[in-house]
Amino acid sequence: MRPEVEDFLHLLRHHARSHGERLALRGTTQRLNYAQLLQAVETRAALLAEQPSGAFALALDNGPQALIWDLAALFSERPCIILPPFFSPAQRTHCLMQSQATLAIAEPAMDDELRGNGFSRGETFWYRPSVVDPELPPATAKITYTSGSTGTPRGVCLDAPALLRVARELEAASRPSGPDQYLAILPLAVLLENLGMYAALFAGATLTLLPSAQLGLNGSSSVDWQRLLGSIVLSGAQSLILVPQLLLGLVTAIERGAMRPGPLKYVAVGGARVAPSLLQRAAKAGLPVFEGYGLSECASVVCLNRPGAVRPGSVGKPLPHVQVKLAEDGEVLVSGSSLLGYLGEPPHLDPWWPTGDIGRFDDDGYLYLAGRKKNQFITSFGRNVNPEWIEAELTQNGVLLQAFVHGEGLHQNLALLWPLDPTCSDQALADAVQRCNALLPDYARIHRWARLPEPFSNSNGLLTPNGRPRRAAILEQYRETLCAMVTE
């Protein structure tokens, strides 16, 4: 067992011995104290260790069992893939086939999907023989799939030391605030949430894990705010991890008197850029919000504002386990906690990881981000989306000639459309968008669109000579049109 993993297990055993009756894990119907949690994890880890070798796929909704199996995989040192609930069936199939997972535990709704991917049901697990060697990098503990900036997600292979270093630093960052009640809101498949739960266990806190529907979350972009706010209040949460869109809803609810900050002591926000105005509103509403920055390729969190060390507008200072510097063009480079490699691709050997983000440091070492080097945008729900992928899908159905997609920092994806036949009706455009949406995962779907007054062309400065959209020019010319489509 890797020393970092063994240390984590010893810490859970210490919690079980010293305060075994303290509530560790709470779900809809299940409650486990630290002694019971340890027993459940060790029993499942032993069971996993008895199974044929291969990666373990976990497709459970948030709840105690999901975390218990995740920890069991960590302690049995079996590579684990947590399948994101917001992925499409085709994307999940890609994850299962690329990883050559031999074991799976999933919700009943996944039965047909697993059978279609060659799995057979056993007493505890779904089983499948490995067809080819997936060539996992040695020491891979977790394969976290990105949210698919193109149609095909990439598997980021991480070792246990990288994961647990981040979890320890997250616990240390929140320690001055002293939260001991943690509510998991994001899916366990989101690495930031996964490590947030580890951090809560490091602290000996009580974790509440509720199914997404009970929290009012549907997919990656639909929220029943009454349910979500009610869950936050009823759980007695003192600590949360949020993406910007969820923070906006929480701040708005407090401003409107629908709820109070209550016992919240530490609210971390990340996954996408946070508007400085939103952070100002949060502070005015009495919410202790701390913005951070990270990426899956660096085992999640790299920088974080912390109690007593907050610089509004920045993403904080680098955490102690990493080094961060800027390339000549301003790109943020990270060392000290990099991926082992992408699954199916050559191993990552360079000690510095190029993040694709442009940034600057102030004199005190706080990092400020200016945007992405490439066209990929990040929604306010923290999903990475390549607009060219969606634009290509929109123009494949014979109705649309041109499409431009925008969603940076937004909770809705917006599109500007020009039809193949300029005389076609708006209803025909709407039908074309709807057909395309049916084939896309929910975070990539178009929520609002507008018809262009004229096509993009080289003559109007909106296309390059080889036919590619001039994205900055399009954004500038149609800024008011795009802004008018955004709804709360």
Residue 385: pLDDT over 90 = no
Q: Which of 375, 402, 429 is the last residue of a domain?
A: 375
How many domains, the chain? 2
The reply to whether 272 falls in a domain is: yes
CATH of the domain at 92: 3.40.50.12780
pLDDT of 299 reads 96
Per-residue pLDDT averaged across 41-47, rounded?
Answer: 98
Claim to verify: residue 314 and residue 277 sit in the same structural domain: yes
Per-residue pLDDT averaged across 181-208, rounded?
Answer: 97
Residue 131: pLDDT over 90 = no
Q: Which of 335, 356, 375 is the last residue of a domain?
A: 375
- Distance (Å, whole) CA 451 – CA 460: 17
The reply to whether 204 falls in a domain is: yes
Give ∠ CA 409-287-370 in degrees, rounded to 5.
Answer: 30
Claim to verify: residue 293 and residue 147 sit in the same structural domain: yes
Claim to verify: residue 285 and residue 218 sit in the same structural domain: yes
List pLDDT tens digits, range 238-289: 999 998 889 989 999 999 999 999 899 999 998 877 878 789 999 999 999 9
**pTM recorded for the entire structure:** 0.85
Per-residue pLDDT averaged across 106-115, rounded?
Answer: 96
The reply to whether 189 falls in a domain is: yes
- Distance (Å, whole) CA 199 – CA 189: 16
Residue 23: pLDDT over 60 = yes
pLDDT of 461 reads 86
Claim to verify: residue 266 and residue 347 sit in the same structural domain: yes
Per-residue pLDDT averaged across 40-45, rounded?
Answer: 98
Q: Which of 324, 343, 375 is the last residue of a domain?
A: 375
> What are the tokens at 307?
């109690």
Residue 361: pLDDT over 90 = yes
Claim to verify: residue 30 and residue 70 sit in the same structural domain: yes
pLDDT of 463 reads 82
- Distance (Å, whole) CA 177 – CA 288: 9
Note whether 115 and 123 are within 8 A (CB).
no
Claim to verify: residue 371 and residue 425 sit in the same structural domain: no
Claim to verify: residue 37 and residue 168 sit in the same structural domain: yes
The reply to whether 454 falls in a domain is: yes
Per-residue pLDDT averaged across 331-344, rounded?
Answer: 94
The reply to whether 462 falls in a domain is: yes
Claim to verify: residue 27 and residue 63 sit in the same structural domain: yes
Per-residue pLDDT averaged across 435-452, rounded?
Answer: 93
Q: What is the mean pLDDT of the chain?
A: 93
Neighbours of 471 (CB within 10 A): 16
Neighbours of 322 (CB within 10 A): 22
- Distance (Å, whole) CA 68 – CA 46: 13
Claim to verify: residue 198 and residue 139 sit in the same structural domain: yes
The reply to whether 380 falls in a domain is: no
Per-residue pLDDT averaged across 45-61, rounded?
Answer: 97
Residue 48: pLDDT over 80 = yes
CATH of the domain at 463: 3.30.300.30
The reply to whether 306 falls in a domain is: yes
Per-residue pLDDT averaged across 295-317, rounded?
Answer: 95
Q: How many residues does the chain have?
A: 488
Claim to verify: residue 193 and residue 293 sit in the same structural domain: yes
Neighbours of 127 (CB within 10 A): 17
pLDDT of 466 reads 56
Residue 162: pLDDT over 70 = yes
The reply to whether 381 falls in a domain is: no
Claim to verify: residue 473 and residue 402 sit in the same structural domain: yes
| Phi/psi of residue 206, nearest 5 degrees | -95, 125
- Distance (Å, whole) CA 301 – CA 332: 14
Claim to verify: residue 401 and residue 339 sit in the same structural domain: no
List 32's β-bridge partners, or say none.
Answer: 25
Domain containing 62: what range?
A: 1-375
Lowest-confidence pick of 80-84, 118-122, 373-377:
373-377
